[in-house]
Amino acid sequence: MRRAVSCVVLIGVLANPAAAAAQRAPGPDEIRAAVASLTESERHPLLRWPDITRYLGVLSAVATSEPDGLFWFEGNRPHTALAGALQALAHAHDEGMDPADFDAQTLAARWQRLQTGPGTSAADWAAFDSGLSVAVMRYLASVHQGRVDPRSVGFDYDLSAQWLDPLVTLRAARDEAGGVAGAVIRVRPQFPVYARLLGALATYRALALAGEPPPVPLLAGGLKKIEPGRPWSGATALAARLRAVGDLPASAPLPAAAGGVPVYGGALVEALKRFQERHALEPDGVIGPGTIAAVNVMLAARVRQIELALERERWLPELRRSPYLLVNVPLFKLWAFDPAAPDEPLRMNVVVGKSAGHATPVFIDQMEYVIFRPYWNPPPSIVRSEIVPKARRDPGYLERQNMEIVASGGPTAAALPATPENLNKVLAGKLTIRQKPGPTNSLGLAKFIFPNAENVYMHGTPAQQLFSRARRDFSHGCIRLEDPARLAEWVLRDDPQWTRERIVAAMNGAAPTQVNLKATLRVILFYDTAYVDSRGVVHFADDYYGHDAKLEAALGRGFPYPRAR
């Protein structure tokens, strides 16, 4: 749990910004020499993460261009933005970051010493002034584009277009309205989910500070589940935890007792269903080990999930100018967004890649076309490991699966017999296997193509029963859609000839039909285990792919975070 730094050391700074006049700063030549010595070392003596290689040019430029060599001073007086800069760093926790990473307390204490302490040198003034500049540049860049390069933790996102110019950003933070606090607001990701996550962060931080309710006891005595209406000693603890996170109204009565044991029933059952729905669990109101484990996750851990989600949200590109599709993998959900339409015009359940060996990759690309009633061309890995071995054991396997061996992928290619010789040619890459279009095709009746190196796309599925599951990681990596016709309707909404009726007809037609989009559509495959929807409901999911753990480890490395080449 991250906490705000103590503001005790800021009292003198904020109460009397002009107090620095009592301590006369050294002359410009001494300051510039001190800055030069500091930059030559490439290490900063005040900072928790001392490597300042990325900012050497900015610090040298500031020392050269400022009249007295100091950025946060005007002559012998502190710039009006200095106190606000220290205060903004002290509130980095509001953005889901640790103020200690930006040396908030260290810099505030050093500033107090410069105002009141005897015998301060040019090196002291240069260290404080340059340290504050580095901290502000780091903080604003972190808010804008995150700290970790997403490519270093398995996200194929390119942030190069989002990087801030550090010197321009630094000057704006000092000179423009609102100072550093105003700059934070300007550089934040400007989309609703980010703002909603900030609100959830404040809420869950407050809950954690209020105290952790007692844990719900594990099932004992060989019990595997607790169904509604059953007496259960853990009902009171369950009610306390669900009340703390808002799923059980504060006005709801305590569980009634039967023979001195509280009964799991009434409003508590409905509250648990709400909790289960928010945590990617079966919302059946039945208490099992998985539900108890989710209920007992500490509030501080939920805070950290939100902080990690905010970091990843900062990796996203500008999203206010054009429509896009977003798939949040661990929540098994797809959303459509359109700047011209309020709320989310489309949302649906999806199936994603298995956590063991078939994880759906995370990247951003452009959807180009839709194919109705598609063939399925299994990837070589599935052909080698699954299809050919089954076809060798069972000569009728391919026919029952509506599959055929062909020499080319053309729609008129003739089917070849499933002889051992032809199966050997399939393994050698001289022939291929495909599944014919139709209701039993593994891709369903539509697929949506955004060409990418991973050969991942969205498609329908005949296995509709999977969408009734709470956890839906069943695919080989592609994204299965609950309602492909509805997605097609939204994707093709700018093409009036593609009505719902024509889409359904094409899906049930005699042959595949490709429809090119009039304009490409951005597709964002994403991964956040914390999310706040447009209704303000906070959702959490397990870290199925381990991406939270990877990001946590990367964040622990500190500045300067490596950039993937």
Nearest to 519 by CA among 323, 288, 227: 323
Range of weakest confidence among 106-120, 282-296, 429-443: 106-120
pLDDT of residue 75: 80
* In contact, 35 and 130? CB cutoff 8 Å: yes
Nearest to 7 by CA among 93, 77, 81, 65: 93
Averaged pLDDT of the chain: 92
Nearest to 95 by CA among 181, 191, 210: 181
Domains and CATH numbers, the chain: 8-190 (no CATH), 230-297 (1.10.101), 322-374+439-527 (2.40.440.10), 383-436 (no CATH)
pLDDT of residue 565: 63
pLDDT of residue 14: 45
At residue 449 the predicted structure's pLDDT band, cuts being 50, 70 and 90, is very high
* Amino acid symbol at 172: A
At residue 257 the predicted structure's pLDDT band, cuts being 50, 70 and 90, is confident
User: Across residues 109-122, what is the average pLDDT?
Assistant: 87
- Evaluate if residue 1 carries a pLDDT over 80: no
User: Across residues 88-98, what is the average pLDDT?
Assistant: 98
Per residue in 380-411, pLDDT (tens digit) is 889 999 999 999 999 899 999 999 999 987 77
- Evaluate if residue 7 carries a pLDDT over 90: no
Q: Where does residue 546 fall: left (phi above 0), alpha (psi -120 to 50 degrees), or beta otherwise?
A: left
Q: Which ranges of 91-227 would DSSP assign to H, the alpha helix?
A: 104-116, 122-145, 166-175, 179-187, 192-210
* In contact, 348 and 326? CB cutoff 8 Å: no
SS (H, E, C) 348-370: EEEEEECCCCCCCCEEEEEEEEE
- Neighbour-count burial of 222, counting CB atoms closer than 10 A to its CB (0-12 exposed, 13-18 middle, 19+ buried): exposed
Range of weakest confidence among 229-233, 286-290, 343-347, 425-429: 343-347
Range of weakest confidence among 40-44, 149-153, 249-253, 338-342: 338-342
Instruction: Give the 3-state secondary structure of residue 472.
Output: coil
User: Across residues 162-171, what is the average pLDDT?
Assistant: 94
Model pTM score: 0.91
Strands 458-459 and 446-449: antiparallel
* In contact, 477 and 502? CB cutoff 8 Å: no
Distance in angstroms between the alpha carbons of the first and the last residue of the chain = 33
Per residue in 497-516, pLDDT (tens digit) is 999 999 999 999 989 999 99
Per residue in 289-330, pLDDT (tens digit) is 999 999 999 999 999 999 999 999 999 998 888 999 999 999
Per residue in 35-71, pLDDT (tens digit) is 999 999 999 999 999 999 999 999 999 999 999 999 9
- Evaluate if residue 333 carries a pLDDT over 70: yes
Task: Tell me the HSE value of 340 on the side-chain side, using a 13 A CA sphere.
Answer: 5
The encoded tokens of residue 533 equal 């929807």
pLDDT of residue 16: 52
- Neighbour-count burial of 28, counting CB atoms closer than 10 A to its CB (0-12 exposed, 13-18 middle, 19+ buried): middle
- Evaluate if residue 246 carries a pLDDT over 50: yes
Determine how many CB atoms are found less than 10 A away from the CB of residue 275: 23
* Amino acid symbol at 31: I
CA pseudo-torsion sign 205, 210, 212, 213:
negative
Q: How far apart are CA 63 and CA 126, in angstroms?
A: 9
Q: How far apart are CA 476 and CA 358, in angstroms?
A: 5
| Residues forming beta bridges with residue 324, ordered by sequence position | 337, 522
